[in-house]
Structure 1
Amino acid sequence: MSSDRISRRGAMFGLLALGGCGFMPIHRNDSSLRGAVAFETGDSVAGFRLRERLEERLGPTVAPRYFLGVTLLDRRRTSAITAEGETTRFNVIGTANWVLRDASTGEALETGQVETFTSYGTTGSTVATQASEADASARLSVALADIIVSRLLIMAPTLTS
């Protein structure tokens, strides 16, 4: 019984200490990057989906202070093969190379490369397989955008200093 009280007290004290140290969540709506980033993601469907997700997370460009250029690459890799040699699953591996530039000077402030994957099955009809592949590509674009935004939000305090 007394150990429950100590752990509860410890948790409450820890939360209070965390709040008092200046800790702020990075996924808040008043981020210094909200509406301040112009995006260039390419003219492909994947680039459009990536841009759409970036705008959803960072807001549409209102007053661009930064320019984010992203180059997407993706490749397919077999991930499951039947005993007869038929491929039943593919991994779609995506890589996004990005550069954040100052909009007024063009100076590169940060660069990075992120990579993730998604997969889809090929066991249905041709139409179902094509739909699964398109869905996997869409999910990949969203995942890459989310990783990029997380990296940008982590470094946002250093941009405003």
Structure 2
Amino acid sequence: MTDAHSTASPTALDRLATVATALSAGGLAGMVLVQAWQVVARYLLNDLPSWTEPLTLVLLSTTLSFGAAAGVHARSHFAFPLLVRLMPIAAQRALGRLSALLIVGIGGLLAVGGAQLLLDGLAVKMAGAPLPQGITFLPLCAGGALMAIFALPQLWRPTIEAN
């Protein structure tokens, strides 16, 4: 694939994607640490902490949501490049725009739905951790918004496969 941003200086969206990637990697590293502590506490100390499972779920959601958003920016999300390459350039552009439009829609739905779940769950205490239940939907909301933001420019600059 050819990308107009590959040789240009980093844009604000490029920097935002770097932050999303760092948050995703941080979530993954956090999951590893929390799960390692859970194993040590359970099998060596015989004292299973109640906060590890809820925190792992928040970290998992963070890793997946921000990683997916960064993948949209990098245009490395799920696609059918072999099929697209066989089509004329105009059809490739149309499919690129359709793909971007679908991602904007899905990202928007994730952001709005995640925000509703976040707000609805703020008054509910999370089992096992001193946090509101709604906090588990914050990464989904933010990741969905980033997916939509990253896909918007792709509506005007769809990816064209190099033949």
Q: TM-score, normalised by structure 2?
A: 0.30
Greater RCO (Cα-Cα under 8 Å, separation 6 or more): 2
**Greater fraction helix:** 2
TM-score when scaled to structure 1? Answer: 0.30
When Rg is computed on C-alpha atoms for both structures, the one with the higher figure is 1
Kindly indicate which of the two structures has a greater share of residues assigned to strand.
1
